[in-house]
Amino acid sequence: MNGGPDLEEILSRISGAGAGPHKLQVTKPGTNEPAVRNTLVGSVTSGIAALVAHVTFWLLLAYGWFWEDLGPVAVAVFLGLWTAGFFGLPYVGYGSALFPSYVAILDVVLVFLIFKGDVRLT
């Protein structure tokens, strides 16, 4: 052959094949030590984004209610939409992972309603 790893060597590096994407463990070449990828950065970043989306949602809702840009019906509708997403999305495939994005969409709609669609960047 060409001196590269053969199929048996490649398969011997993989333990837990077929046990799902989170169970797959690849070892470093020539060792039994797992080749672990650092996923902490990605999970921290998405956690911060989810926190920003939620804090923004509640602040915009309070701001709109306090300054009477949103009436009681609008506040109730947004609370209902948030509650529906909170309790309903876990029943959808990967829905709980989509909840922060769902809240971010509610944030965008709140910004357009509160600021009357006139969001100036300069």
Number of H helices, E strands in the chain: 4, 2
66 and 110: one domain? yes
Q: Is residue 121 part of a domain?
A: no
80 and 24: one domain? no
Q: Is the pLDDT of residue 20 over 50?
A: no
24 and 44: one domain? no
Tokens of 7: 């199929």
pLDDT tens column, 22-69: 445 556 666 666 655 555 556 778 889 999 999 999 999 999 999 999
Mean of all residue pLDDT scores within the chain = 80
Q: Are 64 and 57 in contact, with CB atoms under 8 Å apart? A: no
67 and 30: one domain? no
Q: Are 111 and 119 in contact, with CB atoms under 8 Å apart? A: yes
Residue 15's SS3 state is strand
Q: Is residue 25 part of a domain?
A: yes
Q: Is the pLDDT of residue 19 over 50?
A: no
Which domain does 13 fall in, by range? 1-37
Residue 48 to residues 24, 42, 86, Cα–Cα distance (Å)? 27, 10, 18
